[in-house]
Structure 1
Amino acid sequence: MATRAKIASEEQSRDHGLLRAMGTFTFAAAITNEVVGSGVYRLPGVMATAAGTVAPYAYLACLIAMGAIVLCFSEAGSRVPTSGGPYGYVEAAFGPMPGFVAGLLVWFSSVLACGGIAVALADTVGSAFPAMAAAVPHTAVVVAVLGLMTFVNIIGVDVASKILGLATMIKLVPLFLFLIVGGGALFAGHAAASPITNPPTESFGAAAILAIFALTGMETPLAASGEVRDPARTVPRALLLAMISIGLLYIAVQIVAQQLLGAGLIGSKAPLADALGTIDPRWRAPLLAGAFGSMLIWLGSDLLGAPRVLFAFARDGLLPSFLGKVHPRFRTPYVAILTHFVLAVALALTGTFEKLAILSTLAIAPLYMSVCAAAVKLRRGNVAILGKPLTIAGLPVIAALAILSMVGLIGLAKLEEQAALAVLLIGGVLLYYLMRFLRGRTTAL
C-alpha cells in the first residue's frame, strides 16, 4: 500500500479546483434522493408477488445486508473522502487497477439506473396522458427531464445540493402522508379482509435483486465527496443518517401497505396508491404524483454524483482529459455531466426499467464487495485523510457478512446476467491497461 502521506497528497490533488460546499444535511439529502427513488412506490407489490408469505423476511434480509455495507462505506468514506467516492476507497487500499474497475462499476451502474428511471418516468407520464405514450412524446419527456436535471447540476454544486435538499423534503411528503393516513386507518380498524397466503414463486431471485436496487444508490452521491465540508465527519454522519432513516421508512411503508391491501398487494403496479385507495379513491392522486416527483428528483441526485466518477478518472489520466474540465464560472465538472446525460438518454431509448434496474444492481454488487474489503485494509494501514476517521466495532466480521450477501445476490441472477457481469469486469481490466498503454505512448512522444 502507498504511504499515508502519499495517499493524502494524491487525493487532495485530485480535488483541486472544486468547492467544498456541502454540509451534513445537504449531503444526507443527496443520498436520500438517490436511494428513495421510484422503488419505494413499487417495491411492496413486487415483493408480495414474488416472495409471497416470506416477503417481510426477504425484505429484512436485504436491509441487514445493506446495513453491513453501509457501515463499511461509512468507515472507508471517513478515511478517503475524495471525488469518485468508492473509486477512491478501493484505489487507496488496493491500487489503481482495482480502483479503476470499482469506479467503472459505480458509473456503469449509475448510468444504467439513470436510463431506467427516465424510462419509468416517461412511462408514468404516458399512463396519465395517453397521447404522451407515443414514441416521439415519450422520447421528448426522457430528454426534457434529463436535460433539466443536467442544467441544474452544471450551474453549481451548492445550488444543486440546496435544490435537492428542499426537493427531498417535498418528495417525502407523499410517503409520510401514506404512513399517517394509512396508519390512522389501520388504528381505526380498516384492514384488508384477505391476507397474503401465496408461497414464494420462481421469480423470487429477481424480486430480491430489485429489492436491493431499491436500497442502493449511496455510492453515487459519495462520488461528490471532494465537494463536502469537513468530510471526515460529514461523510459518515450523512451516510448513517440517511440510510438509517431510509431503512425505517421502507419497513414502515411495507407493513402499512401489506395490512391495507393484503392479497390485493400481489401484482399491484402502484401499491401505495392502491392501498390508500381502499380508504378513499381520492388519495390515489397525491401518491401517483409523489411517484412522478420522486423519479424526477432521483435523476437530479444521480447527475450530481455519478459524473464525478468520470471527472476523477480524467483527473487521474485514466480517461481523456477533457472529461476533467471544470466550468470556469460554476466550478463544476460540466463535460463529465454532459457525457453522463448523453449516455443516459441513449440507454433510456433502448431499454426497459426492469432490465436496466437488474443490470444496475448486479454491476454494483462487486463494487460493494470491493469497498467492504477496502475498509478493512484501510484501517489496517491506518489511512486517514482530512481528520480523525470513524472506527466501526467488529468491522472485519461486518465486512465478511456484507461480501457473502453480495455473492448470494449474484447467485440469484440468471446465467446470462451473470455472464454480462463477467464481461463487464473483464472489460474494465482490459480498458485500464489499454488506457495505460495509450498514456505511456503519449508520454514517450
Structure 2
Amino acid sequence: MPGHDLERSLGLYSTMMISMGAMIGSGIFVLPALGYKKAGPAVILAYVLAAIVVLPAALSKAEMATAMPESGGTYLYIDRALGPLFGTIAGLGAWFSLTFKSSFALVGLGAYLLLFAPISQGAITFVALGLGALIIALNISGTKLSGQVQAIVVSLVLVGLLAYTVNAGVTADVGRFTPFVTKGGGGVVTAAAFVFVSFAGVTKIASIAEEVKNPGTNLPRAMIGSMAIMTLIYVAVIAAIVGLANPDDLIHGGPNGGASLTPMADGAGALFAGSGVLIISVVAIVALTSMGNAGVMSSSRFPLAMSRDNLLPPALQTIDDRLATPRNSILLTGTVLLGLIAFVPVIELAKLASAFKILVFSIINVALIAFREADMPSYEPEFTSPGYPYVQVFGLVAGIGLLTQMGTLPILGAAGITAGGVVVYLLYGRSRTDRTGAIGSILADNYERVEDVPPTETD
C-alpha cells in the first residue's frame, strides 16, 4: 500500500533556491513593463512597497511553519487557525493561484522564445506543454531531485542577472530616471498591487515544510533570507531595465500596443558585446521554466494536505512508496496546468489570481493572531515573528489597501474563487470534519467566561 509520509530531503540551500526560483520569473522578466506603465521609473519604489507589504505575511508564515512543519502551507495555517471553511477557501484558492502562475510562466516564456527562435505563435503553446509535461515528470520522480535541479538552475540564473545589471551599469542612460515619479503616489501604489505577485513565491516553501530538513531553523532562514536577497535583486534589475529600455518600448512594445512582455530584452542589444537579447532571452526561458517547476512542487501539496483533513477525496493523499512523492496530487495539479496552457488566455487571467494572493496574504496575518491569542498548548513555534501584533495588523490593512487598487475584475475573480471554496466545503468537506480551529478555542473560552459570571441580583 502507498504510504502517507514524505521524506525530509531539502537542505537550507535547496529550500532557498526553491523560494527564489518561485520569485525569479514573471516578476523580473514580464511584469516590470506593466508596472512601468502605471508608475514610470518609480516602479522601482513599487517593488519595494510590495516587499514591505509581503514581509508581515512572510514573518507570520515563518513562525507558523516552525510550529507545524507539514505539507499544506497557507491552507494548513488558515485551516488550523480559522477552521475548515476558511481552510477550504484558502487551500483551493492558493492551489488555483499557484497553478495559474506556473502556467503563466510557461506561456510567458514564449515571448522571449520568439526573439531568437523561428517558430510560429501556435508552436509556442506546444513548447509550453512539453515543458509542463517535463516538470510534472520531474516532480513525480522525487522532491530531492527536483530540488537539486532547482538549485542549479536558479544559481545559473542569478549569475546571469548579476552580469546583466553590471553591464547595464555601464551603458544605462541616467536621463531615463527623470522625472522619477510620473504618475504620482497613486501610480506607485497601483503598480505595487500588480507586481505584488512577484514576491508571492517567498512563502511557497511553507507548503513543502514536511520535506525540509531541520524546519525549525531552515524555514525561517530560507523565507527571510530569500526575500531579502530578492528585494535587492528586483531593485537592481528593475533599475537596469529603466535605464536601458526606451520608455515607449516598455509602455507600447507588447501585443496590440500594450506593455512589453519582454522588458529585460528591450534595450539589451548593447549588452554582452551585442549578444544581449539572445543571452537575456535564454536566461528568461530558463528562469520561467524554473518558476513553473517551483510552482508545481508547491501547489501540489495543497490537495495533499486538504485530502489528509477529509476536505478532498482520500486518493489525493497517496504517497508513492518508491519515489516518496504525492503522485496523485502532482498529477491533478499537472493536468490543470496543461489544460490552462492549452485552452485559457493565461496572461489576462493571471491578474485574477494575483488579487486572491493579496487577499490570502492578508488573512495569513489574522491566522497568526488567532494562534497567539488562543494560547494553545500544541502551538510551539521555534521562531516567533517580531513586532507582534503591530506587524500583522499592518500587513492586513496594507494588503486590503493594495487589493482595492486591482480594479473591479480581479476583485470579482477573488470573490469567485472564494465562492467556489464555500461550495466545495458545503458539498464535500462539511460532513466529514468537525474542527473549529484556534478561533473556536477563543470563542469557547469567552463563552465559558460569560457562563462563569454570577447572575446580578435585582430588586
Look at both structures and tell me which one has the larger radius of gyration over its CA atoms: 2
Shift of 1:308: 0.8
Amino acid of the structure 2 residue aligned with 1:200 = K
Aligned ranges 1:222-371 → 2 under 5 Å: 222-261=206-245, 263=247, 266-267=250-251, 269=260, 270-279=262-271, 280-371=273-364
**Partner-residue secondary structure (3-state), 1:395:** coil
**Partner-residue secondary structure (3-state), 1:131:** coil
* Alignment partners' CA distance in 1, 2:378 and 2:66: 8
Q: Residues 102 and 295 of structure 2 are in contact (CA less than 8 Å); yes or no, is this contact kept in structure 1?
A: yes
Q: Residues 257 and 265 of structure 1 are in contact (CA less than 8 Å); yes or no, is this contact kept in structure 2?
A: no
Shift of 1:439: 4.3
Q: Which residue of 1 aligns with 2:372?
A: 379
Q: Which residue of 1 aligns with 2:139?
A: 153
In structure 2, relative to structure 1, the CA distance for the partners of 1:159 and 1:383 (3 Å cut) is farther
Shift of 1:53: 5.0
Q: Which residue of 2 aligns with 1:421?
A: 414
Aligned ranges 1:9-408 → 2 under 5 Å: 16-52=4-40, 54-134=42-122, 137-183=123-169, 185=170, 191-197=173-179, 199-200=182-183, 207-261=191-245, 263=247, 266-267=250-251, 269=260, 270-279=262-271, 280-382=273-375, 388-408=381-401
**Partner-residue secondary structure (3-state), 1:246:** helix
CA offsets 1:179-230 (integer angstroms, 9 cap, x no match): 22222x16xxx53555454832998776433311222123433211111112
Q: Which residue of 1 aligns with 2:441?
A: none
Shift of 1:92: 2.0
Shift of 1:49: 2.0
**Partner-residue secondary structure (3-state), 2:288:** helix
TM-score, normalised by the number of residues in structure 2: 0.84
TM-score, normalised by the number of residues in structure 1: 0.87
Amino acid of the structure 1 residue aligned with 2:51 = L
* Alignment partners' CA distance in 2, 1:337 and 1:193: 49
In structure 2, relative to structure 1, the CA distance for the partners of 1:381 and 1:22 (3 Å cut) is farther
Q: Which residue of 1 aligns with 2:426?
A: 433
**Partner-residue secondary structure (3-state), 1:349:** helix
**Partner-residue secondary structure (3-state), 2:202:** coil
CA offsets 1:341-371 (integer angstroms, 9 cap, x no match): 1111111223334313211211212211221
In structure 2, relative to structure 1, the CA distance for the partners of 1:392 and 1:167 (3 Å cut) is same
Q: Residues 77 and 235 of structure 1 are in contact (CA less than 8 Å); yes or no, is this contact kept in structure 2?
A: yes
Which ranges of structure 1 fall in alignment gaps of 5 or more residues?
Answer: 1-14, 441-445
Instruction: State percent identity of aligned pairs.
Output: 23
Range with greater deviation from structure 2 (64-73 or 262-271): 262-271
Report how many aligned residue pairs link the two structures: 420
* Alignment partners' CA distance in 2, 1:159 and 1:117: 21
**Partner-residue secondary structure (3-state), 1:21:** coil
Which ranges of structure 2 fall in alignment gaps of 5 or more residues?
Answer: 254-259, 434-459
Q: Residues 362 and 410 of structure 1 are in contact (CA less than 8 Å); yes or no, is this contact kept in structure 2?
A: yes
Shift of 1:401: 1.2
* Alignment partners' CA distance in 2, 1:384 and 1:222: 22
Amino acid of the structure 2 residue aligned with 1:160 = S
* Alignment partners' CA distance in 2, 1:387 and 1:20: 20
* Alignment partners' CA distance in 2, 1:386 and 1:72: 13
* Alignment partners' CA distance in 1, 2:399 and 2:205: 21
* Alignment partners' CA distance in 2, 1:49 and 1:339: 37
* Alignment partners' CA distance in 2, 1:29 and 1:96: 31
Shift of 1:387: 6.9
Output the aligned Cα RMSD.
2.5
